[in-house]
Amino acid sequence: MKHYQLKITTNNIKNFIFVEKSIKQPFKKIYLPKQIKQFVFIKSPHVNSASKEHFKLSKYSRLYYTHFSISSLGSFLTSLPNNLEVRIKNY
């Protein structure tokens, strides 16, 4: 069993519930700051700049400290949804 640091990033915060149920070992969870990108598009092609569309993209991150064997780490990673970004480090 090796100790791993998993940094998981997603746009959907509900994916973290699935991740926490998938980790069978005890783990430590650290909440990282939310990253927000805001976009403003002017609707009107002419002078009227008062009509704008506002969009916001939020990116959520968590840091998990846990221990896995190599085979259980592989099965854990294949069970995760596709819209997660996972970075793994030994510690």
Indicate which CATH number applies to the domain containing 19: 3.30.70.600
What confidence score (pLDDT) does residue 70 get?
Answer: 87
Name the average pLDDT for the chain.
91
CA 24 to centroid of chain Cα atoms = 19
Number of domains in the chain: 1
Reported as type and span, the H/E element at residue 22 is: helix 15-22
Verdict on whether the full-model pTM lies above 0.95? no
Using the predicted structure, report yes or no on whether residue 49 has a pLDDT greater than 80: no
E strands, 45-90, are 52-68, 85-90
Residue range(s) defining the domain that contains residue 60: 2-90
Q: How confident is the model at residue 43 (pLDDT cuts 50, 70, 90)?
A: confident
